[in-house]
Structure 1
Amino acid sequence: MAELTIRKMELDDIPQVMFVELASFTSPWTEKVFHQELMDNNYAHYYIMELDKKIIGYVGMWVVYEDSQITNIAILPGYRGQKLGEKLFRFAIQKAMSLGAMRLSLEVRVTNIVAQKMYRKFGLVPGGIRKNYYTDNQEDAVVMWVNLI
């Protein structure tokens, strides 16, 4: 039986995380950005999802006082549709709460209806629009948020 685990991201994970990143986003982050997040950002918390020691997803967030912001979340395309994103997002919410967060927010493409539906399952609601947020095509982002407590 396959073993699914979620654990803190380490520097050695970055090459596999980049595989997920490049397969998931049209404007992917670089290895340097992940390195800076892990080494230089005291507010950053990143976790990877492994299936039998293979990284198949990750989630990142910043927790600043009572506010948490999801920076990114991704599951390898071949593993989508199995509720793994929900499992990873639930983990992130629980971790944010354990770190003292009372609110959680994120941005999501206006066209990413699948992700918006998943976030709504966790109580997130639209709170506004960030015009031309995405640099690859100037698509707007929906800002979604939820009170955790």
Structure 2
Amino acid sequence: MEYQIIPMTPAQLPQAAALERACFSHPWTEKALAEDLDNELLTLLAAVGEDGTLLGYGEMRTVLDEGTLERIAVAPQFRRHGAAEALLRRFLDDGREKLAFLTLEVRAGNAPAIGLYEKLGFEVVGRRRNYYREEGEDALLMTVVLRHDA
């Protein structure tokens, strides 16, 4: 499957909102995504197919030299084709110049995501008990150090 990783554009917001509804029990709205797109602390990247279809997207917040992966989503029908890894690698590559570390939280039971994060160097550094209350699931805090000189 061919796709490219590009900065998200306003034209992709309807597809991103639909992707939110397909992937998350508490989806972000198109309006919220539009506000994020205009926020200078946030970077939104899109994995886009040859025909312009949004396969997935990711959002990273940067405060000083700290990065937080806020969201990563890939449409169910496009999973296991490398889009999530490509998005993460782009955040990591871009972050190596300006970030000391990148942190994220993930459902403790989301083994595929945890495996991907570990593959890319993230390590579990903490746990938030019952963070996903409705689902009764913990969140794992994972971090990858990008620069030791910070």
Question: Structure 1 counterpart of 2:14, which letter?
Answer: P
Q: CA deviation at 1:138?
A: 4.0
User: Which residue, out of 41, 44, 47, partners 1:43?
Assistant: 41
CA distance in 1, matches of 2:42, 2:86: 20
Number of the residue aligned with 1:146: 144
User: Partner residue of 2:125?
Assistant: 127
Distance 2:13 2:133 in 1: 23
User: TM-score if structure 1 supplies the norm length?
Assistant: 0.91
Task: Give unpaired runs (5+ residues) of structure 1.
Answer: none
- Deviation (angstroms), 1:96: 2.2
Q: CA deviation at 1:94?
A: 1.2
Which amino acid is 2:25 matched to?
T
In the alignment, which residue of structure 2 is the partner of 1:66?
65
Structure-2 separation of matches of 1:130 and 1:32: 28
SS in 2 for 1:126: strand
Q: Which residue of 1 is the match for residue 107 of structure 2?
A: 109
Which 10-residue stretch deviates more, 4-13 or 111-120? 4-13
- Range that drifts further, 56-65 or 82-91: 82-91
Match of 1:57 in 2: 56
> Is structure 2 residue 135 aligned with structure 1 residue 137?
yes
Identity %: 32
Match of 1:17 in 2: 16
Q: Please state how far the C-alpha of 1:38 moved relative to its aligned partner.
A: 1.4
Cross-structure match for 1:7: 6
Q: How many residues align?
A: 146
In 1, distance between residues paired with 2:130 and 2:11? Answer: 34
Q: TM-score, normalised by structure 2?
A: 0.90
Q: CA deviation at 1:102?
A: 1.5
Displaced runs of 4 or more, over 3 A: none
The alignment partner of 2:85 has SS state of helix
What's the Cα RMSD here? 1.4
